[in-house]
Structures are given as structure tokens and as C-alpha cells.
Chains A and B, each alone.
Chain A
Amino acid sequence: MQSSFSRLPLGLCLASCLLLSTQAMAQTSVASPAPTTALASDSVYQVNATLTDQNGRAFKLRKHLGKAVLASMFYTSCKFVCPMLIDTMALTRQGLTPEERAQIDMLLISFDPQRDDVKKLKSVALSREVDSSPWTLARTDVSSSRKIAATLGIQYRLLSDGEFNHTTVLVLLDRDGRVVGRTQKMGAADPAFIKLVKQTLGTKASGS
């Protein structure tokens, strides 16, 4: 089976690449239907999930409307990349001017709601010194976690040993909650990503 795959004609691969790119173009040119609410049709905030922050306060994603958001997903028992994720978010924020920092929220949502209760979120928030504005550590129900992850393009999977395998991605949302960019560079601030954050903050909300 493997050898037959390696003999796949190049043309086939090229054709599929072309198809992929035309599909991508079709997706980016999707005409947004008139939104039924004030929310942009392509806003992540269309996910109407109820989340709970590290202080036990319930909120909806759309509470971040009007501010840009650096968002990601994690789980508190993660030992390796997740602490690095918080560091990277903080480093990215440090790359901004004080005026810019005032316009951006930092949002971390657990994809392990069965273990990550409010107490655990609070504990991480305190130990990592991210327990105050603009930081929010949050949890929601299992189904909503999967939906939010799907809109953010974040993948996660529970392994048999209780660890999660997951993509570590920092996602930038504009003031309307649209995904405008992402970086997978961890451990240091990504200059291109910081540039994108600055650009995003420089643009007015569409007000759609």
C-alpha cells in the first residue's frame, strides 16, 4: 500500500493543490449574509456559550465586543507547552504600547471542563499572576468547548493517560470577534504577529 502511494503521479497532487486553493478562495469570498443581530456574521461570538471566569462570574464571549482579543485554549494540568502559552501571550502584550495594551483583552479557555473547575482556574491565575484585567481564564461545558475550538481552529484530543494532545495556537480576534490572525510560535513574541495586532488595533470596528 505504501509503495503504491509513493507512485502517485505528481499531476494528481498538483490537481488537488489547485482544488484546495480554489476552495480556499471560495471560502474567503463568502458573501456575508445580513447578520440577524448586531454581531458580525463571521464573528466567533456567534457561539452563544455561557462561560465562567476564574472568579465564578458567568459571561458570554460577546462581552469582549469593542476590544481586540488575544485568545487561546489550554488545560490547567498541562505541564509543558501551556505555561509557555501564557508566557507567550504576556510577551506579545509587552510588545505593545500602553495605549494599545488598553485596547486588548487576554482570554484563555479550558478545553478540559470536566477537571478544570473555577477553583483550578483561579489557582493558575494566581500562580501565573494573570488574575486581573485584562486577563480572563474561563471554562464552559464540554459541547461549547468543542464549538469555540472549532471557530478558533484549535484542535484537542484526550489521550488514554488523561493528558491532552492539542495544537498550541495564539489567535487574534478583532473588535467584532472575527479571527484575523494566529501564531504558533511559542516561547517568544512573534514579530509578525505583534505587527498584525498593532494593525488590527489601528483599524476601526466595522460596526456591522
Chain B
Amino acid sequence: MSTQTLERPSVPPPGPPGAGRRPAVVIRSALARWGLRGTALLYLGLVVALPTVAVITRGFEDGLQSLRDALNAPGAREAIVLTLVLAAVTAIINIVFGTLIAYVLVRYRFPGRGWLSTIVDIPFAIPTLVTGVMLRALYGPNSLIGGFLEGNGIHVIFAQLGILLALLFVTLPLVVRTVQPVLLEIDEAEEEAARVLGATRWYTFRRVVLPKLRSGIAAGGLLAFARAIGEFGAVVIVSGNIIGKTLTAPVLIFQLASQFQPNQAAAVATLLFAISFVLVLVTERLVGARNKDAV
């Protein structure tokens, strides 16, 4: 998850300029330096790198056969397509509303602003499974709203709409907290200048604000997409896992793993993992490029 983009203030480091940016090799004794390096590498190597390598080798132990088997299983392709489509829709919707919320939080002062900011972080804190349970409590067949919606032919629980709501919930803070720091850096004077020169509000937003926000919005959207591809807890309990209809890729991996098909599970996992890891790397680039511009 996810939490990498919690609001981080972008104030310049205090003290003389550049004091914090200096490549600071302060770990003086060689023993301490190598001790720290060794511990860090061993920790990350054993806990992160080794298991990752293990899954990838397991998935391709017998070439592409496991992947082919996994994809030929009933509902597997549909599950992967559904996951990618829902993740894309989630990212797009939350880019629109997330940017709007970030804009409102940064530029407007109104009663309830602090509350809005805290509410945006709620999905970070709430266990993902509880997210699914909450949706079920609200839209489930025995609930007030759920009964009404079912009566009008709208199905939320055990339907794709429920999965979408779960994904939107889980990824909302990712977009808001990625766009917000970028907005904070933009000088409001430029917007004012554009307005004084006769630009309309929408034109100002499109030509002055949006170009600077582009990398932030893209980064937030990609993070949301990557997160949505892998989401399990919030989805498993609202989707009903109907093969070919509401079965998502992470749930498929879970089913393969618990049916003692670790090779096929690993093959599908590697596919998903490759997509989301590339996305996260691209995001880091985007955010990194922005930070370089800012300095």
C-alpha cells in the first residue's frame, strides 16, 4: 500500500542553503559504515529480494507453460481484463475528484476543511477488509440503501459496481496526497496574473495550473492504478467472486494458491507484479523529476 504519499511538507530545509542537501557521509568509522550497510542489505535482501526472486523463478520454472495453463483456466483471462479495466476506471474517477479535493483543500478556507482533510486519510487507516464489510453493511441486500437499490435494479454487492466503490475508497487518498504537495508549490500569483489579464477561470486552470499539476496528477493516477490492480481485502468480500463476472486477478491468485497450484499462481502473480512495479518506477521518475524542478 499506498501510504508512500501521505502529505509531506515541502518546506525548504532550514539553516544555510544547501545544508541539508550536502551528500553527507558522516558515518566515519569504516567498521560502522560496513556494519550498517551490511545489515541494511541483508535485511532487504532476505525479506524483500529473495522472496520476490523465488516467486518469479517459480512462475517460469517450466518456461511459459504455467502462465499458459493459468490463462487457459476458465475465467482467468476475464479476471485479468476486469482487474485492469476497473483499475483504469478507478484511476480516472479519482484523478478528477482527487484533484478537485486537493484544490479545495489547498486554495479555499472554509469551516470543515480540517475535517475534510482527516476524512481523506480514513481509507489509509481502515483495514481493507473492513472497507468491504462497510460497503456490505451499507449496500447489502438486507440494508436500507441496498434494498432500495436492488428494488430499482441496481446491484452493488456481488457486482462490479461494488468492486469499483471499494477500489475508489481505497485509492482516494493516494491521488489527493500526491496532487496536494504539487499544488502547494504553485505560486498563486501566476493564477492571479492570468485572471488580471482577462483569462477566464477555466482557461486559467487549463493553461496555468494544469500544466504544472500534470506530473503530480499522473503520479497519483498511476499509484491508484497500481494499488487497484493488487487490491484484495476490500474486493474479496463485496465481489462474490463469480467466475467470468466479478472474479478479479488477486482473488484468482488466491484461489490458485489455495488449490495447490503455486506455479500457475506465481505465473499470474509475476504478470501483475511486473505491471504494477513498472508503474511505481514510472511514478518515482515523475515525482523525482518534479522535485528536481522545484529545487
Binding between chains A and B: no
User: A residues within 8 Å of B by Cβ?
Assistant: none
